Amino acid sequence: MTPPASVPVLSAEGLSVSFDGRTALSNVSLELPRGRIVSIIGPSGCGKTTLLRCFNRMNELVEGAHTAGAVRFEGFDLYAAHVDPVEVRRQIGMVFQQPTPFPKSVFDNVAFGPRASGFKGDLHALVEEVLSSAGLWPEVAAELDAPALALSAGQQQRLCIARTLAVKPSVLLMDEPTSALDPTATARIEALVHSLKGTYTVVIATHDLQQAARLSDLTAFLDGGDLVEYGPTETLFTNPRDPRTESYLTGRAR
């Protein structure tokens, strides 16, 4: 039985992060509804990446990072003492700003996650399934053994998405997934993200306001580590409550 839609998949409560004592995120609280696309916008350095990385405990890989507050996934505290971050990352997948294919074959890239978590089923079927979901199957089906680094940047990023889907997460964190890509490749990724809606809860950080407007149901605006405003995308874009949001959207310097 799927829980009612009103229960958020992920929520942050009073979340603060500092790096070597310097605050990167202060007292952020927000709830991510199931099956929706949520975008996080804000100027460079406002804490988008940091917030995403709190959701799957990647910040703790950074020396000097300190996290306070709570993150709940399906109601459970992700930062509780008994929680294994490895397990968290299998539930909550991440796609990075730069495409980072492993220097291995296309197949081995996709198979890496399932192998790491001891996948017992039909690996070939899984690889085909997620490559199809990522819209990459027709392009690579004939050369699964080819090196992933030989793919174009856009294909590499779709491979990275497929690779993340192969672990069967329920949440997908995407950190500016198109910022390194040309417009055509960007459009393909956006279409892909759109097709994932409903099946996955997607959180996408972006500095591209049009992208946020096109893709997301909800938008959060971060500035200087503060969550300034969070709400339905349309409302936030057409009728922002906070003057800081408005000046960011209209491109005026504060």
Partner 1 sequence: MIFLRYHGKVGTACAVGAWTATAGLILLAGFLAVRGWGVLDPAFFLSSPSRDPGRAGIGPALAGTLWLALLTVAFALPVGVGAAVYLEEYAPKNRWATFGESVVVSLAGVPSVVYGVAGLAVFVRAMGAGRSILAGGLTLAVLALPVVIATSREAIRSVPDGLRRAAYGLGATRWQVLRHQILPAAAPGIATGSCLAFTRAVGEAAPLLVIGAASFVTFAPQGPGDPLISLPTRIFAWTTHAQPEFGALAAGAAIALLLLLLAANLAVLAARRRMRRAYL
Ligand X SMILES: Nc1ncnc2c1ncn2[C@@H]1O[C@H](COP(=O)(O)OP(=O)(O)O)[C@@H](O)[C@H]1O
Interface ranges with ligand X (CB under 6 A): 19, 24, 42, 44-50, 62
Tell me which residue of 165, 110, 97 sits closest to 140, measured CA to CA.
Answer: 110
To partner 1, the closest distance from the beta carbon of 201 in angstroms equals 16
SS3 of the chain: helix, strand, coil, percent, to 5: 40, 25, 35
CB-based contact 122:99 (threshold 8 Å) = no
Distance CA 115, CA 43 (A): 38
Which letter does DSSP use for residue 92 in this model? E
- Which listed option, Mg ion, partner 1, ligand X, none, makes contact with residue 24 (CB within 5 to 8 Å by class)? ligand X
Which span (7-15, 94-102, 179-187, 192-200) binds partner 1, by CB under 8 A? 94-102
Helices (H), 92-226: 106-116, 123-133, 137-140, 153-165, 183-196, 209-215
The amino acid at residue 189 is I
Binding mask 7-46 for Mg ion (x = CB under 5 A): ----------------------------------------
Binding mask 37-56 for partner 1 (x = CB under 8 A): -------------------x
State the first-to-last Cα distance of the chain, in angstroms, to the nearest integer.
48
Nearer to partner 1, 83 or 209 (CB): 83
User: For partner 1, which residue of 66, 72, 90, 207 counts as binding (CB under 8 A)?
Assistant: 90
Footprint on this chain of partner 1 (rule: CB under 8 A): 56, 58, 61, 63, 86-87, 89-90, 93-94, 96, 98, 100, 102-104, 112-113, 116-117, 147, 149, 160, 163-164, 167
